[in-house]
């Protein structure tokens, strides 16, 4: 059953930002700020930034001071740009809402933090499904659980545009998570990602469009997109998709952004004509 607040504004201009993050965290932060500023200038009201956009390729755990700095930086940036920001992920071992060390963990979680346009934290989502796989690229073996703790619950947040569901990268392969987000009232799904090239080539667009179609939701997917040095290559093709599975905007490889206007009133029409949620039997 939906617990989201009603839609106050039916039209949302949203941006999906694509980066090719390096090991230089200061450069990554500067790039994210520049691209978010471009999104603001393009009239975006909400922007989604890729997974690991600050720390991609770095395995060390950020200090408490670094974590606090990250949270303050993006709170200030969201307020200055008057922009909702879906930031990340970033390795956090402290509770983002309180910036307190009281409950810090020995291993961080991969956390997406959502800031509203007043710089307030609206929610944080710890990635549930960690990428522990063997693939046919030069890196061969990925074990996110070596560096991160699993998240343990789905997250939606209320906005002027209704309920929005948060997921990250490998979560895309688990349709049951997205069905749960719809049950919680999501009409838009945000998907910060660092989808690797080997799997992205075959599965990235297919999975995104499938999630949009089966959930009858808009999907905003912000990916890493290029060569990050060494063996690390990501697929790119950040895109924005409508509830019928049509790609509204996309970017190929490299750094940049895409912006699209989405009409939330279309959700009710599509869901009424094909009431999948009512027909679901499992």
**Can you spell out the DSSP letters for 118-183?**
TS-EEEEEE-SS--EEE-SSSS-EEEGGGT-BPP-S-EEEEETTEEEEE--GGGGG-HHHHHHHHH
Any catalytic annotation for residue 169? yes
Any catalytic annotation for residue 68? no
Model-level pTM? 0.93
CA 117 to chain CA centroid, Å, is: 17
Options 45, 51, 197, 237, the catalytic residue: 51
61 belongs to a structural domain? yes
How far, in Å, CA of 17 to CA of 223, rounded? 7
Any catalytic annotation for residue 51? yes
> What is the total count of domains within the chain?
1
Options 123, 169, 215, 217, the catalytic residue: 169
The domain in which residue 94 lies consists of 11-274
**φ and ψ at residue 62, rounded to 5 degrees:** -60, 145
248 belongs to a structural domain? yes
96 belongs to a structural domain? yes
95 belongs to a structural domain? yes
Cβ–Cβ < 8 Å for 157, 164 = yes
110 belongs to a structural domain? yes
Cβ–Cβ < 8 Å for 202, 224 = no
Q: The tokens of 173 are what?
A: 């392969």
79 belongs to a structural domain? yes
What CATH number should be reported for the domain holding residue 218? Answer: 3.60.110.10
Beta bridge partners of 134: 141
Where on the phi/psi map is residue 82: left (φ > 0), alpha (ψ -120 to 50), or beta?
A: left
Cβ–Cβ < 8 Å for 176, 211 = no
User: pLDDT digit of tens for each residue in the chain (282 aa)?
Assistant: 466 777 789 999 999 999 999 999 999 999 999 999 999 999 999 999 999 999 998 877 889 999 999 999 999 999 999 999 999 999 999 777 544 444 555 789 999 999 999 999 999 999 999 999 887 665 567 889 999 999 999 999 999 999 999 999 999 999 999 999 999 999 999 999 999 999 999 999 999 999 999 999 999 999 999 999 888 899 999 999 999 999 999 999 999 999 999 999 999 999 999 999 999 988
Options 123, 127, 217, 237, the catalytic residue: 127
3-class secondary structure, 146: helix
47 belongs to a structural domain? yes
281 belongs to a structural domain? no
């Amino acid at each position: 059953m939906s617990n989201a607040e009603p839609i106050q504004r039916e039209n949302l201009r949203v941006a999906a930002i694509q980066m090719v993050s390096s090991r230089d965290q200061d450069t990554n932060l500067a790039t994210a700020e520049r691209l978010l500023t471009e999104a603001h200038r393009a009239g975006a009201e909400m922007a989604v930034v890729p997974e690991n956009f600050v720390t991609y390729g770095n395995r060390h755990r950020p200090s408490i001071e670094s974590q606090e700095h990250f949270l303050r930086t993006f709170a200030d940036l969201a307020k200055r740009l008057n922009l909702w920001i879906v930031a990340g992920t970033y390795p956090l071992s402290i509770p983002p809402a309180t910036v307190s060390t009281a409950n810090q963990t020995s291993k961080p979680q991969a956390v997406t933090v959502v800031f509203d346009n007043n710089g307030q934290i609206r929610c944080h989502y710890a990635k549930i499904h960690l990428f522990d796989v063997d693939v046919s690229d030069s890196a061969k073996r990925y074990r996110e659980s070596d560096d991160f703790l699993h998240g343990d619950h789905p997250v939606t947040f209320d906005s002027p545009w209704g309920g929005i569901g948060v997921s990250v990268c490998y979560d895309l392969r688990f349709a049951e998570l997205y069905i749960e987000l719809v049950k919680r009232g999501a009409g838009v799904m945000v998907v910060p990602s660092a989808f690797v090239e080997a799997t992205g080539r075959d599965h990235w667009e297919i999975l995104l469009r499938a999630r949009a179609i089966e959930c009858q939701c808009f999907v905003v997917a912000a990916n890493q997109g290029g060569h990050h040095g060494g063996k690390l290559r990501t697929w790119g093709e950040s895109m924005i998709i409508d509830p019928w599975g049509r790609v509204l905007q996309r970017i190929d490889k490299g750094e940049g952004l895409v912006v699209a206007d989405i009409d939330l009133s279309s959700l009710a029409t599509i869901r009424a004509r094909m009431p999948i949620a009512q027909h679901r039997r499992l």
